[in-house]
Amino acid sequence: MAPSSVKLQELIRLIRTAKTQAEERAIIQKECADIRSSFREEDPSFRCRNVAKLLYMHMLGYPAHFGQMECLKLIASPRFSDKRVGYLGAMLLLDERQDASLLITNSIKNDMNHNSQYVQGLALCTLGCMGSSEMCRDLATEVERLLKTSNSYIKKKAALSAVHVVRKVPELIELYIPAAESLLGGKNHGVLHSAVVLITEMCVRNPEATCKFKKVVPELVQIMKNLIMSGYSPEHNVGGISDPFLQVQMLCLMRILGQNDDEVSEAMNDILAQVATNTDTSKNAGNAILYETVLTIMDIRSESGLRVLAVNILGRFLLNSDKNIRYIAMTSLLKMVQTDHNAVQRHRGTIVDCLKDTDASVKRRALDLTFALINGHNIRSMIKELLQFLDHCPAELRSDCASGIFLAAEKYAPSKRWHIDTILRVLTTAGSYVRDETVPNLIQLITNTSELYAYTVHKLYQAVLADISQQPLVQVAAWCIGEYGEFLLSGTCEEEKTVKVTEDDMLDVLEMILQSHMSSPATRGYALTSLMKLSTRISDNVDRIRKIVSIYGSCIDVELQQRAIEYNTLFKKYDHMRVAVLERMPVIEKNSQVCSDKSTKVLNDENKPFSLSKPNQTEVKIQNAANQQTVDLLDLIGISDPSSTPVVQNNQEKMVGGELLDLLGGINFGAIPSITAYNKNGLTVEFFFEKVGNNELSIQLKAKNATAKDMKEFILQAAVPKNIQIHLQAPSGSVLPALCSGCVSQTILISNPNKVSLKMRLRLSYSIEGSTVQDICEVNNFPPQTWQ
């Protein structure tokens, strides 16, 4: 027997007995060589067997493309066994990108007219698997003809092939609408199932088809009722559930047909209620049907009672032992919370219990849903649960949990004292995990609550004594001690048991912060500025403060060194102005441009669910202004001594004094008006201009995201004509927070020596919810003042 005629079973046995991968490769290589020799000899005796062996090797991951033409020869064979292997090889080894696939079009057409239903089935399956657009156009009428035959076996195959044709060539949908309607009246399970799949595909791809198929809704409802009441056939029963695959597919089709249509939705209400109440939940097949029923109820214009029933089904899913079912239940509830908030609230206890789930995905989804359920009525109890969760939650959830508590407290806080207590509790528990906007937000809250100055500064002082490791907590405490240290000295606080604090005690705490190895440079900056503030509020320890400040005049950190030198200058040359310069900070107002009108509406609407947001860059400016106030004022009034002050060059920092200008409402860069360079899908990119020289222009780019989800991995690229030079500096970040709660800025430098008209092409890329979005636009509306 020739080596190439080894039977398939023998080849499989040899490969499985190979002890090493090298031995397996040797067997495969030898067999492939023998098969190639047989192909070259044009020996038809073993062609079918050789192609079958090639397909097995292809399944193992070895190349088998050299057998493509042999598959075509087998398809042309009159023998059914040859055709079967040939078509199988074509489906596995060919695709629409290869020219060889075009060669089988005629063979498929001939076999569609074969007198054997099984040969016709092979041809239909192959077209439905790998048919290209050209093949689908050529054979569409043949498929439509077979849809009308009386043979159920052929009808089923033709319907599934038509699904592929519709996907490849959507304009052919009209051809199949009449035939698809007639298939719904069939009694054969395969025909009915494939008909529902075909109609669903057509409705998804063509709204006009959806309108035409709405008239078949009563027929679908009747079929569904028969499935529930009498069952379709015993062989399609799964775990006691009558034909769950057909039920799920029909519910999906009903959902598409009922969207935005009151009349069609009303026709479905009764059957959906029957499915929801009569389906057994003890089996996974039943849960699949119930989940699809819930999705249908959510998407169509269903009755309020039916929507409550859907929420209750999801509530039962939350008690299921299967973590996958719990996860999809919370995902669905998260979608329904906006429209059926009160119904979802009834399952609040169960949802909060899911925070204790051992599965990380379930726990994260439970956290999102818990925040969505917070409102003005349950804020105290919900935040109490979340604070307990924060004590033991995984590290990867702490940042989201802390930020969510901050935002919920800001929106629904029943009192200012409760608000401050809540934030201090989070800072004490998970201070190192909070985001950058926390410190300026809390400082703003404290400055706006004058009646709680004494209470707050006492709480913060005691918290810092207990734990100095939480940097945001220490920063706020240092700021408050500098601003409101006199309340500590007086020892009076009606709402809190206090211990009298001396001047030395306050200075000891601030000096401890400065000397601690856990303190970041930013924290030390807060403490240094706080010491300067205290120099105007105490009387006996001014010399001690002067000595501490002078030490940092030679600090290795440039920022601290600059502050210390300027503070020393204030002590020595301008001591008569020190009290005026270091007055208490005024009440900090939030920049009105922090959020767009849309996001502000969401934050102020009590009926809307609460959602997490990301750091706010404008509020970070408040932080910088708060702890650099003295330096900015010194520079603004011209006190800074250039001979003794080191100059800091940093592209990531603004010029000194710029922070205060931003606090006053923002400035426009020069007299050139700004433009909106891009505005699409919630992403807005604005250009602000400043002339650097006669032929040079600086563009400050600001990108904002108005959608409800964060845009991550944000990248912007720009190109200009060849006679213009462009330089893009590093962006401030790569994440665009949701609801315009922050922005990404980037500087673009343009050199245009010939002063030609400026055009720019932008390429933007970002990911949102795991999907990558890319877009290209051209900006040609630059103001004429740019080169005047």
Q: pLDDT tens, 249-264? A: 999 999 999 888 888 8
* Average pLDDT of the chain to the nearest whole number: 82
Tell me, what's the pLDDT at 500?
76
Q: Answer yes or no: is pLDDT of 654 > 60.
A: no
Tell me, what's the pLDDT at 662?
36
Q: pLDDT tens, 3-44? A: 456 888 988 999 999 899 999 999 999 989 988 888 888 878
Q: Answer yes or no: is pLDDT of 421 > 60.
A: yes
478 near 513, Cβ under 8 Å? yes
Cα separation, 295 vs 332, in Å, equals: 8
In b/e form, how buried is each residue of 632-669, taking b as 16+ CB within 10 angstroms?
bbbbeeeebeeeebeeeeeeeeeebeebbbbbeeeeee
What secondary structure letter does DSSP report for 647? P
354 near 363, Cβ under 8 Å? yes
Other Cβ atoms less than 10 A from the Cβ of 108: the count is 22
Give backbone dihedrals phi and psi of 237, rounded to 5 degrees, phi first: -85, 130
Mean pLDDT confidence for 61-87:
89
Mean pLDDT confidence for 290-313:
89
Q: Partners of 680 in the beta sheet?
A: 683
Token reading at 289? 């049907």
Q: pLDDT tens, 211-241? A: 888 888 999 998 888 888 776 567 777 877 8
Cα separation, 192 vs 183, in Å, equals: 6
Q: Partners of 242 in the beta sheet?
A: 237
């006669």: which residue's tokens? 694
Q: 741 and 780 share a domain?
A: yes
Other Cβ atoms less than 10 A from the Cβ of 217: the count is 20
> Does residue 507 form part of some domain?
yes
Sign of CA dihedral 64, 65, 69, 74: positive
Q: 522 and 621 share a domain?
A: yes
220-224, 594-598, 614-618: which is most confident: 220-224
> Does residue 482 form part of some domain?
yes
Give backbone dihedrals phi and psi of 338, rounded to 5 degrees, phi first: -75, -35
**Among residues 572, 605, 636, which one ends one of the domains?**
636
Mean pLDDT confidence for 539-560:
87
């379930």: which residue's tokens? 362
Tell me, what's the pLDDT at 589?
65
Tell me, what's the pLDDT at 594?
34
Q: 588 and 554 share a domain?
A: yes
By CB atoms closer than 10 A (0-12, 13-18, 19+), residue 418 is middle
Tell me, what's the pLDDT at 630?
38
Query: How many secondary structure helices (H) and strands (E) does the chain include?
Result: 36, 10
Q: 612 and 475 share a domain?
A: yes
Q: Answer yes or no: is pLDDT of 480 > 80.
A: yes
Q: Answer yes or no: is pLDDT of 586 > 90.
A: no
Q: Answer yes or no: is pLDDT of 619 > 70.
A: no
Q: Partners of 772 in the beta sheet?
A: 767
> Does residue 203 form part of some domain?
no
Nearest residue to 107 (alpha-carbon basis) of 575, 131, 318, 92: 131
Q: Partners of 676 in the beta sheet?
A: 686
> Does residue 328 form part of some domain?
no
Cα separation, 786 vs 776, in Å, equals: 23
Nearest residue to 762 (alpha-carbon basis) of 677, 686, 690: 677
> Does residue 398 form part of some domain?
yes
Q: 469 and 607 share a domain?
A: yes
Q: 683 and 706 share a domain?
A: yes
Mean pLDDT confidence for 682-706:
88
Q: Answer yes or no: is pLDDT of 135 > 80.
A: yes
Nearest residue to 32 (alpha-carbon basis) of 1, 63, 69, 68: 63
Q: 607 and 626 share a domain?
A: yes
Q: Which residues have CB under 8 Å from 485's CB, separation 6+? A: 457, 506, 530, 533, 534, 537, 538
Question: How many domains, the chain?
Answer: 3
CA geometry: angle 243, 248, 254, nearest 5 deg: 125
Cα separation, 113 vs 115, in Å, equals: 7
Other Cβ atoms less than 10 A from the Cβ of 283: the count is 15
Percent of the chain with pLDDT over 90: 24
Amino acid at 115: N
Q: Own/partner pairs for 286-291, CB < 8 Å, 24+ apart?
A: 286/239, 286/241, 286/244, 287/317, 287/320, 287/325, 288/244, 288/248, 289/241, 289/244, 289/247, 289/248, 289/251, 290/317, 291/317, 291/328, 291/332
Q: 460 and 533 share a domain?
A: yes
Q: pLDDT tens, 144-156? A: 999 988 899 999 9
Q: 455 and 515 share a domain?
A: yes
Q: Own/partner pairs for 589-593, CB < 8 Å, 24+ apart?
A: 590/444, 590/619, 590/622, 591/618, 591/619, 591/621, 591/622, 591/662, 591/663, 591/665, 591/666, 592/665, 593/618, 593/665, 593/666
Region of poorest pLDDT, from 5-9, 332-336, 408-412, 550-554: 5-9
Does residue 699 come out as left (phi exceeding 0), alpha (psi in the -120 to 50 range) or beta?
A: beta
Enclosing domain of residue 529 = 439-636
Other Cβ atoms less than 10 A from the Cβ of 266: the count is 14
Mean pLDDT confidence for 711-721:
89
> Does residue 488 form part of some domain?
yes
Give backbone dihedrals phi and psi of 691, rounded to 5 degrees, phi first: -80, 125
Sign of CA dihedral 126, 128, 129, 131: positive
**Among residues 410, 434, 458, which one ends one of the domains?**
434
Tell me, what's the pLDDT at 334?
87
Within 113-205, residue ranges assigned H as helices are 117-130, 133-147, 152-168, 173-183, 189-205
């000595």: which residue's tokens? 547
> Does residue 66 form part of some domain?
no
Q: Partners of 702 in the beta sheet?
A: 686, 745
Tell me, what's the pLDDT at 649?
35
3-class DSSP state of 2: coil
What secondary structure letter does DSSP report for 215? G
What secondary structure letter does DSSP report for 673? P
**Among residues 636, 660, 691, which one ends one of the domains?**
636
Mean pLDDT confidence for 641-649:
35
Q: Which residues have CB under 8 Å from 746's CB, separation 6+? A: 700, 701, 703, 716, 728, 729, 730, 731, 732
Token reading at 309? 């029933």
Give backbone dihedrals phi and psi of 321, rounded to 5 degrees, phi first: -75, -20
Mean pLDDT confidence for 348-372:
90
Q: Which residues have CB under 8 Å from 577's CB, separation 6+? A: 570, 639
Token reading at 185? 């009246």
3-class DSSP state of 755: coil
CATH of the domain at 706: 2.60.40.1230
Q: 461 and 493 share a domain?
A: yes
Sign of CA dihedral 491, 494, 499, 504: negative
656 near 646, Cβ under 8 Å? no
731 near 746, Cβ under 8 Å? yes
Does residue 657 come out as left (phi exceeding 0), alpha (psi in the -120 to 50 range) or beta?
A: left
Q: Answer yes or no: is pLDDT of 350 > 60.
A: yes
Q: How confident is the model at residue 621 (pLDDT cuts 50, 70, 90)?
A: very low
> Does residue 460 form part of some domain?
yes
Q: Answer yes or no: is pLDDT of 161 > 50.
A: yes
What secondary structure letter does DSSP report for 58? H
Q: 424 and 444 share a domain?
A: no
Q: 398 and 470 share a domain?
A: no
